[in-house]
Chains A and B, each alone.
Chain A
Amino acid sequence: MRILIVEDDPVLSEGLSVGLGLSGFTADSVATLGDARAALADSAFAGVVLDVMLPDGSGLELLSEIRRGGSELPVLLLTARDQVRDRIAGLDAGADDYLGKPFDLHELAARMRAILRRAEGRAAAVLRWNGLELDPARMCGTLHGAPLSFSRREFAVLHALMERPGQILSKPALEERLYGWQEEIESNTVEVHVHHLRAKLGRGFIETVRGLGYRVAAEG
């Protein structure tokens, strides 16, 4: 899950990307509204963590722009102002959730997962397919009741494929979800992760669609 962090405080910004990374997200961070606009135009993000007070304006401006553009991109507002009326203003401007500073990283990750889940039209936290139960909060799963563990990247690939079972995801699309801007994309890495996943889940769980990409096999 690739998340854009818009926060101008360098220590907090770094803490957010590392912390969300530890929770299984891929995070990119920018410090200004201008950079955030450019990032949103260039890359596909699953969600945004948006600070309200930024050096070149208010995060609420960006939020209104996103909503005016018709986008339903999940946005979690992060702000030092957490009076009721500030929360109301933020939610009314189109935010999916609101978190006052300072906050708990686990809570932020849980709220992020919740708004991403709702954006996908699911209410249940656990993804189920073909006997596999995947728990995004703990980055682990069970296959027919037997516990399984995954590395961060393996989990990210599996999570992406399980979000819309049957839909084909290309290799570049998976790579984009795996790597932030600062990270060097290693060749064959998606293949390596799929290979490891097949070893854990059985050969038939993930199908290769030649020339197009990967998908989870139909239930049966």
Chain B
Amino acid sequence: MSLRLRLFLILALATGAIWFSAVIWIEHSTRAQVTRVLDARLAEAARMVSSLLSDRRIAMAGDGAPVAIPLDPHGDYAHQLSCQIWSLQGTLVGQSEGAPQAQLTGDHGTGYSESTVDGETWRVYTVENAALGVRVMVGDSLGVRDRLVSGVIEGLLLPMALILPLLAAALWVSLGRGLAPMHRLAEALRLRSPSDLAPLPAGPVPAEMRPMRAALDDLFARLGKAREAERDFTAFAAHELKTPLAGLRTQAQIARIAPDEATRRRALHNIERSVDRTDRLVRQLLELSAIEREGAAPERVDLALLGAEVCADLAPLAEARGVALVSEIAAGAARSLPASAFLLHAALRNLVENALQASPEGGTVRIWQSGAVLTVEDEGPGIPEALRARACERFVRGTQGGDGSGLGLAIARVAMERLGGRLELPASAGQGQRAEVHLPGA
């Protein structure tokens, strides 16, 4: 349901309800007022007749034959006020014209009463005149009172019925105008190009829409940042791939023009080395983007098994570099992770790979566990102090001119962040570098 229709229905129903209550209220108060006024008139008329009789200016018929008092019928209500004069013995002394033949009320004391005569409900005021031995009863039909009240209500309802469609139309149009800023916003959003992540155009904004606009602007800003990071990364990755390509091309050219066999062999060896390095760089780039996509399904991981897996993965590299690789994680050490174990595997693998690259030939790379901390230690020269703060940034390499892509530590850091843990590189004393993986919840 559109917001406009929804608001319209709410407003229409609310207005209707208010009008309906007002009508009921007016009906009640009119009825009370009419009752009060007409009752007073009944009493007055009854007393008037009684006092006229008491003056004895009007002779009472002795024989008891009823005397009709002619009343000039005027207007709608003329026939509705009837008067009867009864002797205390119960004989009709006189009555007004058009009054019912039957006694108006069986209630004989002075005061108001209601009774049904000839199928019509009457409101009657009785005055008992003991001195004359008569009762004067003056009554009117309740139907008259109902007609009076309904006349007033009709007078109210008729204009209302005429106004209602006009009011509905006015509501509908006003709502449309009131909601116009929303339509303008929607239009502005619809016409935006996908690359436009600037804040929404400035201008007067209704207070109610400010939170939404602020939220949208905030979303745009975050999207823009994410996109920029992605673009930076792509540009960086492309540039990083150009260096190994340049190396490959240069070495290929040397192999082609080399004057002697040794130079040619060396160049071919370098080509192989460069292809391996480039392959590793591409694998790491893919790994990095996989880490950023990795889901958050909690998983339980056997740390000893993980260590063994990483060692098995990297055994060829360790052998090629003449470095011993040992996992000392005790069997049965398992932990629950809040996200995929792939992240921990990626972090550990990259740290061990880095450690192997940094180790001198004949050195040892050890992995051990202590509580929620996995440590990888090598026997290399350690990360220089000047580089330590930036070591985990993408494409920051060691200064030893090694075979690193500058992505290993970045991958480990991002993976641990995704996992809710962290990576720490304690200062190295120049003999060996430690990398500590702090598991989440530690």
Q: Contact between B239 and A53 (Cβ–Cβ < 8 Å)?
A: yes
> Which of B248, B250, B396, B397 has the most chain A CB within a 10 Å cutoff?
B250
* B399 partner, pick from A18, A19, A31, A81, beta carbons under 8 A: A31
Query: Could you tell me if B253 and A11 are in contact, using CB atoms closer than 8 angstroms?
Result: no
With an 8 A cutoff between CB atoms, is A163 at the interface? no
Establish whether residues A102 and B274, one from each chain, have CB atoms under 8 Å apart when the complex forms.
no
State A53–B243 Cα separation when bound (angstroms).
10
Give the distance to chain A from B232, nearest Cβ to Cβ, in Å.
12
Contact (Cβ within 8 A) B246 A101: yes
State A213–B155 Cα separation when bound (angstroms): 130
Residues B387-404 near A (CB distance < 8 A): 387, 395-403
If A11-B273, A31-B399 touch, whether A22 touches B243 (CB-CB below 8 Å) is no
Q: B244: which A residues are within 8 A, CB to CB?
A: 9, 11-12
Find the B residue at minimum CB distance from A34.
B399
- Judge whether B243 and A80 touch: CB under 8 Å: yes
User: Chain A: which residue is nearest B235 at the CB level?
Assistant: A81
* Interface membership of A184, Cβ < 8 A: no
Interface centre among B247, B259, B398 (most CB of A within 10 A): B247
Residues in A with CB closer than 8 Å to B277 are: 11
Query: Which of B240, B270, B401 is the one whose CB lies under 8 Å from A15?
Result: B270
Flag whether A105 is at the interface (Cβ < 8 A): yes
Establish whether residues B254 and A10, one from each chain, have CB atoms under 8 Å apart when the complex forms. Answer: no
Residues 12-40 of A contacting B (Cβ, < 8 Å): 12-16, 18-19, 22, 31-32, 34
- Contact call A55/B249, Cβ cutoff below 8 A: no
Residue in A9, A19, A34 whose CB lies within 8 Å of B243: A9
Scoring A residues 67 to 87 as 1 if CB is less than 8 Å from chain B, else 0, what string do you get?
000000000001011000000
A104 within 8 Å of B (CB atoms): yes
Give the distance to chain A from B390, nearest Cβ to Cβ, in Å.
Answer: 9
In the complex, the answer to whether A32 meets B399 with C-beta atoms within 8 Å is yes
Contact among B246, B258, B401 for A102, CB-based, below 8 A: B246
A105: chain B residues at CB < 8 Å are 250, 253-254, 257
Residues of B near any A CB (own CB < 8 A): 238-240, 242-251, 253-254, 257-259, 263, 266-267, 270, 273-274, 277, 386-387, 395-403
Closest 4 A-B residue pairs measured CB to CB? A15-B250, A12-B247, A101-B246, A102-B246
Task: List 18 additional A-B contacts (Cβ < 8 Å) besides A78-B246, A104-B249.
Answer: A9-B244, A11-B247, A11-B277, A12-B250, A13-B401, A14-B251, A15-B254, A16-B250, A19-B253, A22-B257, A31-B399, A31-B400, A31-B401, A80-B239, A80-B243, A101-B245, A102-B245, A102-B249
